[in-house]
Structure 1
Amino acid sequence: MNIAPGKTEVSSIPFEQARVDRLMDEAGIDVLFATSKHNTQYLLGGYKFIFFAAMDAIGHSRYLPIVLYEKGGPEHAAYIGNRMEGGEHQNHPFWTPTLHAACWGTLDAANLAVEHLQKIGKGAARIGIEPAFLPSDAYTLIRKALPDAKLIDATGMLETMRAIKTEAELEKLRTASELITDSMLATIAWAREGTSKTDIIEQLRREETNRGAHFEYCLLTLGSSHNRAASSQAWKKGEVLSIDSGGNYHGYIGDLCRMGVLGEPDAELEDLLAEVETVQQAAFSKVRAGTLGGDMIAHAESVLKASKVASYTDFFAHGMGLITHEAPFLMTNHPVAYEGTYAGKPLERNMVLSVETTMLHPARGFIKLEDTVAVTDSGYAMFGDRGRGWNRGGA
């Protein structure tokens, strides 16, 4: 395929330019050099090249999409992509004035990025990179070609950029949650006595795919086991089922957990799930714009601490969006290894949180609820708000 020609004018910018410019200024960044799939997707208004949706490797190298954005200078923005993306541009033009759909690997992409930075007079600028998503060979090329440039870690700035969702992003997250919830409830109803974990997971994959979601994973437990990996273990009468699934809709994550039981739940099961729900509701009661993230966490943890199930139950909350754990980061190393940098900051309107309470009961098994909520001025809006009780298997 021939290299797609660049453009000369700025199309509609798909993000809030003034906010991004302000965040760049605060971070001391002149030019963004975005290379992760999630940040290039964000900066391109939701675009993701389907050919490399599942795997980046090709030939001796890998796909490396690059979005270059100069603070206050959208007329200098560029997208550097794979040669096959010229067809994408012909059908749905990228907003960036410059496009290089010309690459097959990391070095040719990095070299084109360097040439563009030099062309716009930013060869000695403060360049914001993503260290965890910039291959070492590309980094070395950039460092040698631009010896006077200052390379700055833009990870935190980009996380803050994505923390507050647009209305379009909220709708995608809502849709993702609805599709995942419907798929889980359908799968629980489908499963029968004797159905294996492997078969249940495969059924969930089909349910999500048939509804238009992209299946990511399913963490599943049956009975008293706390093991969430696929196996030949079969569901038995009277046992619980915990189904925790992540799938995405146009790149945005739906990540929820619902409970099933094969038969009718006994009084103990009803009581145990009610304990989990009490902690969830405690967290929800503190979710609103202006509340410190840490105050929401502390309140839920205090309610859990007073519970009779505290010794084997855990509470956790985290931000979500294009990736499963993103800003706001509310807890430190619990369990994912990052700092709770947003605990002392107020929640803001249109932040999206995953709120989860997990019980590892020694006899009754893995009992958990995980919900998705968007922060509003007066409280929260829950996505996928159904099936939060005991759902009957074989229904």
Structure 2
Amino acid sequence: MSTHEKRRANLRKLLRRQKVDALLVTSFHNVTYLTGFTGDDSYLLVTGDDAVLVTDPRYTTQLEDECPRLRLLVREPGERILPTTAKLLEKKSVGVLGFEEDSLTAGSLRQLKEEAPAVRFEGQAGLVESLRAVKDREEVEAIRHAAYVAKRAFNVVRAAWTPDATEADLARELEYQARRFGGKCLSFPAIVAAGPRAALPHASPTDAVVGDYDFTLIDWGVFAPLYASDLTRMVFHVEPSKKMQKVYSIVLEAQLAAIDAIRPGVKCEDVDAAARNVITKAGYGKEFGHGLGHGVGLEIHEGPRMGRNMPNELVPGMVVTVEPGIYLPGWGGVRIEDDVLVTKTGHELLSDVPKSIESSVL
């Protein structure tokens, strides 16, 4: 069995538990996960003994290269995907069809029901995503590579840093360097926030000149090419003030405590608590207003979520971000983020950009 055939076999086990005859996969990320096909505008029907990709002639050659053993239903030009899918459901004698309720729109579902009146539709949420949360060896290495490309891009930007650069300049340069080192693109629009703007967890880069401030927060990642990385580092243009040294040391202590807590069987909320307790004890609990992290993979935000009221347990193969922060309006903020693999015996850091306060000074 190929990797993708194994994934579909694992999905079939879930379908049997859900008591559905088949699953119509309409999320393009999930189609990629189950087949290796990197295009879009295609649906995958997974039955108990088969898998058929409903696609169109634009992708015929690409599909031959990416997944040559996959059965295809190529619709003719002008033929819409939903009627074609309905005919396939009839041909496969599907009685109960699971559909991805987080992906298929209400309008498409209504039309599909009209085209296939004999089929009973049952919404399914998170089936493929539950499989995607646990990465296999190939996926782990892909994320490790994405973190490496992100590191190389950041190192060039940092080495070429000039005080007259703007936040937007640095964001564009990160994108360029990521592509130069083999990345497909950044895995999200880079967050580059200087001085007080670092208090905005999701700040968009502006024309603010970074040299006008003492520090800059950079949150970036790379798709290289399919799997994502996600990191955050601080860059100091002058020696950090005593206040910055204090805040930075608290955030770093919190991050290291959370990373140390990562191992199989530990609840996501307990890893969050390991970081949150450090920050709260230091008097900044209200200034840490988001969850500790999230899974990464084919998408920049995947399961599991790392935060309060998240009782799900970590298992080997999960890759999560650990990104505590303290944000002080009018002054700035500090966030430190890495990508961490859950191993059989504990954890492994997949990103290795230096993060001591000394290494963060230009």
TM-score higher than 0.5 here? yes
Q: Does 1:78 align with 2:68?
A: no
Secondary structure at 2:302 match in 1: coil
Question: Which residue matches 2:131?
Answer: 161
Q: Deviations over 1:210-267 (max 9, x none)?
A: 1111223101110122352121110126611101113212321111111101133344
> Please, what TM-score do these two structures have when normalized by structure 2?
0.90
Question: Which residue matches 1:310?
Answer: 285
Secondary structure at 1:273 match in 2: helix
Q: Deviations over 1:108-163 (max 9, x none)?
A: 112222212211221x2x21212332244432231012223222222221221211
Query: In structure 2, what is the Cα distance between the partners aligned to 1:133 and 1:33?
Result: 10
Q: What runs of 5+ residues in structure 1 fail to find an aligned partner?
A: 1-9, 53-63, 333-339
Question: Which residue matches 1:4?
Answer: none
Alignment counterpart, residue 99 of structure 1, candidates 72, 78, 97: 72
Is the Cα–Cα contact under 8 Å of residues 184 and 258 in structure 1 kept in the other structure? no
TM alignment of 1:1-395, pairs within 5 A: 13-45=4-36, 47-49=37-39, 64-71=41-48, 73=49, 76-96=50-70, 98-102=71-75, 108-122=80-94, 124=95, 126-213=96-183, 214-215=185-186, 216-225=188-197, 226-227=199-200, 228-236=203-211, 239-314=214-289, 315-331=291-307, 343-362=310-329, 364-390=331-357, 391=359
Cα distance change of structure 1 residues 265 and 331 upon mapping to structure 2, 3 Å threshold: closer
Question: Which residue matches 1:335?
Answer: none
Cα distance change of structure 1 residues 114 and 381 upon mapping to structure 2, 3 Å threshold: same
Question: Which residue matches 1:6?
Answer: none
Q: Deviations over 1:293-335 (max 9, x none)?
A: 2222223222221113334234522222112222223436xxx
Query: In structure 1, what is the Cα distance between the partners aligned to 2:222 and 2:234?
Result: 18
Q: Which amino acid aligns with 1:158?
A: V
Query: In structure 2, what is the Cα distance between the partners aligned to 1:191 and 1:12?
Result: 43
Secondary structure at 2:219 match in 1: strand
Cα distance change of structure 1 residues 165 and 389 upon mapping to structure 2, 3 Å threshold: same
Query: In structure 1, what is the Cα distance between the partners aligned to 2:77 and 2:194?
Result: 45
Is the Cα–Cα contact under 8 Å of residues 354 and 360 in structure 2 kept in the other structure? no
Is the Cα–Cα contact under 8 Å of residues 275 and 324 in structure 2 kept in the other structure? no
Query: In structure 2, what is the Cα distance between the partners aligned to 1:104 and 1:245?
Result: 40
Cα distance change of structure 1 residues 232 and 153 upon mapping to structure 2, 3 Å threshold: same
Cα distance change of structure 1 residues 372 and 145 upon mapping to structure 2, 3 Å threshold: same
Query: In structure 2, what is the Cα distance between the partners aligned to 1:104 and 1:239?
Result: 58
Q: Which amino acid aligns with 1:348?
A: V
Cα distance change of structure 1 residues 352 and 91 upon mapping to structure 2, 3 Å threshold: closer
Query: In structure 2, what is the Cα distance between the partners aligned to 1:258 and 1:331?
Result: 21
Q: Percent identity?
A: 22
Q: Which amino acid aligns with 2:208?
A: Q
TM superposition shift of 1:292:
2.1
Q: Which amino acid aligns with 1:206?
A: Y
Secondary structure at 1:374 match in 2: strand
Q: What runs of 5+ residues in structure 2 fail to find an aligned partner?
A: none
Cα distance change of structure 1 residues 260 and 70 upon mapping to structure 2, 3 Å threshold: same
Question: Which residue matches 1:58?
Answer: none
Cα distance change of structure 1 residues 104 and 176 upon mapping to structure 2, 3 Å threshold: farther
Query: In structure 1, what is the Cα distance between the partners aligned to 2:250 and 2:85?
Result: 54
Query: In structure 1, what is the Cα distance between the partners aligned to 2:20 and 2:307?
Result: 27
Query: In structure 2, what is the Cα distance between the partners aligned to 1:296 and 1:141?
Result: 44
Cα distance change of structure 1 residues 286 and 89 upon mapping to structure 2, 3 Å threshold: same
Cα distance change of structure 1 residues 313 and 293 upon mapping to structure 2, 3 Å threshold: closer
Cα distance change of structure 1 residues 329 and 368 upon mapping to structure 2, 3 Å threshold: closer
Is the Cα–Cα contact under 8 Å of residues 318 and 353 in structure 1 kept in the other structure? yes
Q: Deviations over 1:166-186 (max 9, x none)?
A: 100111111111211322232
Query: In structure 1, what is the Cα distance between the partners aligned to 2:251 and 2:347?
Result: 19
Query: In structure 2, what is the Cα distance between the partners aligned to 1:366 and 1:103?
Result: 54
- Which has the larger displacement, 315-324 or 212-221? 315-324
> Please, what TM-score do these two structures have when normalized by structure 1?
0.83
Structure with greater proportional helix content: 2
Secondary structure at 1:99 match in 2: strand
